[in-house]
């Protein structure tokens, strides 16, 4: 289950807001998304995989763990799932250059495809 958005690391790209299949996050005016509906998280790991700066942590447990953010940072676990799967050539820092991610966010959307229209709008507004 999604456990944390590390505010000090987040760059406010809103990629997690867009990729979450169950609409767990809300974008905010500060740029750092909030976990608005934690109970809707399916532990799919998509947000953690797509975060370009390893600012998210999704725990394998299906219920909240009350994990401490400082401990998360100190543990080195942030981004470890991306690295384990070989994303970004297994380097820290996330999916910034992943061509699949770039294509998904930049392709001109079919106006009937509401999800991609939303992605496109966010891209134009420099959120992603």
Report the site for ligand SF4 in 16-75 (rule: CB under 6 A).
16, 19-22, 24, 33, 41-47, 51-53, 55-56, 58
Query: Is the Cβ of residue 19 or residue 119 nearer to ligand SF4 in the bound state?
Result: 19
User: Closest Cα partner for 28 from 40, 44, 12?
Assistant: 12
CA dihedral over 79, 93, 35, 100, signed as positive or negative: negative
Distances in whole angstroms, Cα of residue 24 to Cα of each of 41, 46, 102:
6, 12, 22
Query: Rounded to the nearest whole angstrom, what is the least distance from the CB of residue 90 to ligand SF4 in the complex?
Result: 18
Q: How far apart are CA 71 and CA 75, in angstroms?
A: 6
Query: Rounded to the nearest whole angstrom, what is the least distance from the CB of residue 104 to ligand SF4 in the complex?
Result: 14
Q: How far apart are CA 67 and CA 45, in angstroms?
A: 17
Radius of gyration from C-alpha coordinates of the chain: 14
Query: Rounded to the nearest whole angstrom, what is the least distance from the CB of residue 42 to ligand SF4 in the complex?
Result: 4
Query: Is the Cβ of residue 16 or residue 119 nearer to ligand SF4 in the bound state?
Result: 16
Asked if 122 touches ligand SF4 (CB under 6 A), the answer is no
Query: Is the Cβ of residue 47 or residue 119 nearer to ligand SF4 in the bound state?
Result: 47
The secondary element (H helix, E strand) that includes residue 54 is: none
Asked if 95 touches ligand SF4 (CB under 6 A), the answer is no
Q: Which residues bind ligand SF4 (CB under 6 A)?
A: 2, 5, 10-16, 19-22, 24, 33, 41-47, 51-53, 55-56, 58
């Amino acid at each position: 289950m999604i456990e944390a958005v590390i505010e000090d690391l987040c760059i406010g790209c809103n990629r997690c807001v867009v990729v979450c299949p169950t609409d767990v996050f809300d974008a905010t005016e500060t740029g750092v998304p909030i976990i608005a509906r934690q109970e809707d998280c399916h532990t799919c790991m998509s947000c953690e995989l797509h975060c370009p700066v390893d600012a998210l942590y999704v725990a394998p447990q299906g219920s909240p763990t009350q994990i401490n953010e400082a401990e998360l940072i100190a543990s080195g676990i942030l981004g470890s799932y991306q690295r384990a799967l070989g994303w970004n050539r297994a380097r820290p820092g996330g999916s910034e250059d992943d061509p699949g991610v770039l294509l998904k966010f930049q392709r001109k959307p079919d106006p009937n495809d509401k999800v991609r229209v939303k992605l496109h709008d966010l891209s134009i507004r420099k959120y992603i």
